[in-house]
Structure 1
Amino acid sequence: MDELWALDATELADRLRRRDVSAREVVTAHLDRIERVNPTINAIVTLDAEGALAAAAAADDALANGALTGPLHGLPIAFKDTHDTAGMRTTYGSPLFTDHVPTTNTLIVQRILDAGAIRTGKTNVPEFAAGSHTFNTLFGVTGNPYDPSRSAGGSSGGAAAALAAGLQPIADGSDMGGSLRNPASFCNVVGFRPTPGRVPTFPSDDPWDTLGTSGPMARTVADVALLLSVIAGPDARSPIALPETSFRAPLDGDISGLRIAWSPDLGGLPLDKDVRAVLSAAPDVFTALGCSVEEATPDLSDADFVFRTLRANAFETAYGATFDEQPEKFKPALAWNISQGRKLSRGDVGRARTAWARLYTAAAAFWDTYDVLIAPVSEVPPFPADWEYPHAVDGIEQHSYLDWMRSAYHVTVLGAPAISVPAGFTPAGLPVGLQVVTRPRSDLRTLQVAAAFEAATAYGRRRPALG
């Protein structure tokens, strides 16, 4: 039998339903893998092996007794440490919450558990999910499975590293400025930022927010679609929740005839030469698949102003009062982002929202001309894990922890579904992802295009040499 920890989620789920393997066998295989490999990469920061084995035994008993099982029956998962898990420590990567144990699950966690998944623990995050490099004072740095001396990205960096290393077959994440896409690109897995509202957030202090969203991660596009089918769907407590949940439709259809806009640097962003070289092959892949490809970029002229203004305002609102009480408990970058929020006037926020509306309208015209946008996920390959962030990209100085993330967060303001799919490796063997974007609410189309690229290239099948 193949190593169970190495199997894709869809195959594992099928074997579990057929009772070819038991949930106890699957969970045990992953716990053994965690014991061997996690000390090298530090992806899982809280582990409940005893609880996971007990839940697996209960899942096996339920199946043996003829109970209906969910689509994730028996699949192990450690949840992102910014998503509340009832009865299990959730720290948000902050020393303010070192011993915090929630009494309820967030909606995404509850939906995954209701679908039959087995909770094993929590994955590492940067403090309050701020930044695309996973480190904090509680648990330290998460290393990249392809080179543990390099960053795994963030903020869902622990999740991406756990997937790539075979510690779990599926993962939950969230994305404001690239927190699903950047770590997926760094770790050679698939990370999907769905249309805001596709995966509703509850609880939420701002339920109308569309800048951030939760979403799925996995090692293949099909596995992402499997998880999305569970976590998507309406919830009466979310005013922006979308109704559609049918994402397990066949993903291997013909994409010939699609109009592809190839934006090699999203309108002039600095790009590392190795990233540029790897992604230069992507247009030819789509041409061979029968698509028409031409260089084009949507209007992103105000994307920086919009994203940074609304992000700073959100951070000050969420953390400002606590920062005033205990400023020493906040990392400098987060303190800086809160201070940026305090410099804003009501007019600044209003102008940002007006500019956002204009960009969205301009994008609607872009989508009338093109079906798909392909572009870099990240401007750099995985950087040394002892850096807070890259201080230069292609010779251009980066002044803050946000600067190098523009290729992800400029796409955020489009309000569109965006996925990172493995696209190749640098000469040093570091992964690079391709960002595939389609018009808002066309999440299934995004998955189908990514699946076609995945099948044509198979870069995602190259696994790291660990354990």
Structure 2
Amino acid sequence: MTSGKGRPSCGERVVYLSSGRQDFSHRKPIMPDVKISETNPIHYQDATTLAALIRTKEVSSREVVQAHIDRVAAVNPRINAVVTLMAADALAAADAADKAVADGADLGPLHGVPFSIKDALDTAGVLTQRGSKLFAGHVPTTDATAVARYKAAGGIPLMKTNLPEFSAWTETDNLLTGRTNNPWNLARTPGGSSGGESAAIAAGLSPIGIGSDVAISVRGPAAFTGIAALKATQGRVPYTGHYPSIIRRWWHVGAMARTVGDVALGYSILKGPDGVDGYAVHPRDADAGASRIPGRPLRIGWVADAAFGPVDPEIVAAVASAASRLADLGHEVEPVTLPFLGNPLGALMTLIYAEIVPSIKALAAGREGELHAIGAGIVGMADPAFADFLAAEAQGEDLRSAFAGFFERYDVLLTPVNPMTATPHGAQELVVGGVTVPWTHVMAATSPFNLTGLPALSVPYAFSSEQLPIGIQLVGKWLDEATLLRLGAMLERKGGLGDRHPAL
């Protein structure tokens, strides 16, 4: 690959930059030492690194975009994460980005960097098929707010990524664009519903992207594939332009990337009202942790199988390891049990399906034969009884109140993300810690924080004996994403995951 000016390939180039820290409020990143080589290629550099290399003309945006296009060609046939590739448009945008650098223009924090987009989010003039034959060939006329914000920050949309039909499953498979495989083990799922997004980022097809989460859907796939993802406080990031438009009380659009630092950058771009989403009303600078006494150790409670069991013993060990590491950093850390938790997954599913079932039934009327099994299952459901809906609403309100009390005593809750590592494709039952559980158990430790709207960060941390990633989850007070991101950056990959990438 060359820039068109006789520049050598990324495998021949060596680039060093001065050491330093990334400040996400600054438009000109300060970079750590970087060496690009065959063993540390462009496609595994994080977005902040790429933005600085482009800004300083050490690499061109065209080189970066082309490197990712080449990576898609080499890897996507095996994992099927990318469903629409915008190669020609992305290269044209890269050339424009390089001209802006040469002209000394004002550059955004993602200037010239390609990004990926879950195919539930609208992209103007680009296929947005939502994992369903019912939307085959659908092309929106406007961008989702999240997509528009990444573009306004200088990012270049490169690909749309796979998802289950209607984003309504914990695995990424559908009848229109097929099944996505986990890049760490092709016989395993990357999860769902943002499984195409997580697989693409983990495999180096994209440095940073946008997913969405209704019960697990950015955090679970991130943990299954060894990347990071943030489900921010409900309303922090506008949902505008995401399908389905209903059930937005629990659905969150969020940043996904290989590092917590890049997730922090993505979140800083995505957050803030857009004047359309009625839940996105929090000011960009709202920070629940801002009044915390400077220098006071954080009070952190941690729990694994005592609240979300059964949990794989290796994941329990990873959470305990992270708790010990936080204590070593000087924080006040102790085990907790969450006796008030109840059955949040059951309540959340009742509320979600009470809204989505009638909508999908109306959408699919006369076309039921075109539905994947997950869509057919939704259409086949009876509408929940009103009494059950009210009971679920009450349970959700009670859980919010209980967590309000919990976070009066603690600043952060540390938990597993998934109770198990990446599961085999299509598994309906799973054995976890010697106990047989239904496939829905994968959402046990994530769904409470959609029901309550609390912010939760999935952090890549450890590696299992089966050579699969293990993630940990940090949960904070409403509007205190900053604390989670700061702790996540201290913990990421410290439990044994290291700097490994899938062997593809």
Return 5+ residue gaps in structure 2 as ranges: 1-13, 15-35
Equivalent position amino acid for 1:236 in 2: G
TM-score (norm. length: structure 1): 0.92
1:13-412 alignment, distance < 5 Å = 13-203=51-241, 209-241=248-280, 242-245=282-285, 257-265=297-305, 267-298=307-338, 299-340=340-381, 342-385=382-425, 387-399=426-438, 401-412=439-450
Q: CA deviation at 1:151?
A: 1.1
Question: CA 1:338–1:362 in structure 2 vs 1: closer, same or farther (change >3 Å)?
Answer: farther
Q: CA deviation at 1:38?
A: 1.4
SS across alignment from 2:446: helix
Aligned residues between the structures: 458
Equivalent position amino acid for 1:258 in 2: L
Aligned equivalents of 1:246 and 1:229: distance in 2?
12
Write the deviation string for residues 416-459 of structure 1: whole angstroms up to 9, x where unpaired. Answer: 11011012111111001001101111111111111121275573
Q: CA deviation at 1:165?
A: 1.0
Mapped contact 1:232–1:245 kept (Cα < 8 A): no
Aligned equivalents of 2:130 and 2:247: distance in 1?
22
Give the one of 463, 476, 483 matched to 1:438: 476
Aligned equivalents of 1:92 and 1:460: distance in 2?
34
Aligned equivalents of 1:456 and 1:40: distance in 2?
29
Aligned equivalents of 2:214 and 2:179: distance in 1?
21
Mapped contact 1:302–1:356 kept (Cα < 8 A): no
With 236-245 and 425-434 compared, the bigger mean Cα shift is at 236-245
Write the deviation string for residues 107-145 of structure 1: whole angstroms up to 9, x where unpaired. Answer: 111111111111112111111111121111222221112
Question: CA 1:58–1:268 in structure 2 vs 1: closer, same or farther (change >3 Å)?
Answer: closer
Equivalent position amino acid for 1:216 in 2: A
Equivalent position amino acid for 2:432 in 1: V
Equivalent position amino acid for 2:197 in 1: A
SS across alignment from 1:120: strand
Question: CA 1:294–1:73 in structure 2 vs 1: closer, same or farther (change >3 Å)?
Answer: same
With 446-455 and 371-380 compared, the bigger mean Cα shift is at 446-455
SS across alignment from 1:192: strand
Question: CA 1:255–1:177 in structure 2 vs 1: closer, same or farther (change >3 Å)?
Answer: farther
SS across alignment from 1:407: coil
Mapped contact 2:456–2:484 kept (Cα < 8 A): yes
Aligned equivalents of 1:203 and 1:125: distance in 2?
16
Aligned equivalents of 1:12 and 1:424: distance in 2?
26
Aligned equivalents of 1:258 and 1:187: distance in 2?
29
Give percent identity, aligned residues only: 39
Mapped contact 1:262–1:373 kept (Cα < 8 A): yes
Return 5+ residue gaps in structure 1 as ranges: none
Aligned equivalents of 2:80 and 2:245: distance in 1?
32
Please tell me the root mean square deviation across aligned C-alpha atoms, in Å: 2.2
Aligned equivalents of 1:221 and 1:11: distance in 2?
13
Aligned equivalents of 1:313 and 1:202: distance in 2?
21
Equivalent position amino acid for 1:445 in 2: T
Aligned equivalents of 2:286 and 2:267: distance in 1?
9
Aligned equivalents of 2:85 and 2:201: distance in 1?
16
Equivalent position amino acid for 1:231 in 2: L
Equivalent position amino acid for 1:310 in 2: L
Write the deviation string for residues 62-86 of structure 1: whole angstroms up to 9, x where unpaired. Answer: 2322332221111111211111111
Question: CA 1:458–1:112 in structure 2 vs 1: closer, same or farther (change >3 Å)?
Answer: farther
Aligned equivalents of 1:209 and 1:162: distance in 2?
25
Equivalent position amino acid for 2:117 in 1: F
Write the deviation string for residues 191-234 of structure 1: whole angstroms up to 9, x where unpaired. Answer: 11101111011146767833111000011111001111111111
Aligned equivalents of 1:279 and 1:457: distance in 2?
9
Question: CA 1:207–1:329 in structure 2 vs 1: closer, same or farther (change >3 Å)?
Answer: closer
More helix by share: 1
Mapped contact 1:43–1:142 kept (Cα < 8 A): yes
Equivalent position amino acid for 1:336 in 2: G
SS across alignment from 2:196: helix
Aligned equivalents of 1:194 and 1:346: distance in 2?
30
Spell out structure 1 runs of 4+ moving beyond 4 A.
204-208, 455-458
Aligned equivalents of 2:86 and 2:66: distance in 1?
12
Aligned equivalents of 1:442 and 1:378: distance in 2?
22
Q: CA deviation at 1:174?
A: 0.3
Write the deviation string for residues 364-405 of structure 1: whole angstroms up to 9, x where unpaired. Answer: 1100111111111001111123x2444443344444x53332
Aligned equivalents of 2:261 and 2:492: distance in 1?
10
Mapped contact 1:256–1:290 kept (Cα < 8 A): no
Aligned equivalents of 1:226 and 1:358: distance in 2?
34
TM-score (norm. length: structure 2): 0.86
Aligned equivalents of 1:138 and 1:209: distance in 2?
25
SS across alignment from 1:267: helix
Mapped contact 2:318–2:495 kept (Cα < 8 A): no
Question: CA 1:453–1:373 in structure 2 vs 1: closer, same or farther (change >3 Å)?
Answer: same
Aligned equivalents of 2:171 and 2:468: distance in 1?
16
Question: CA 1:149–1:304 in structure 2 vs 1: closer, same or farther (change >3 Å)?
Answer: closer
Aligned match of 2:46: 8
Write the deviation string for residues 127-183 of structure 1: whole angstroms up to 9, x where unpaired. Answer: 111112111122222111211221111111111111111111101000011100001
Aligned equivalents of 1:389 and 1:161: distance in 2?
21
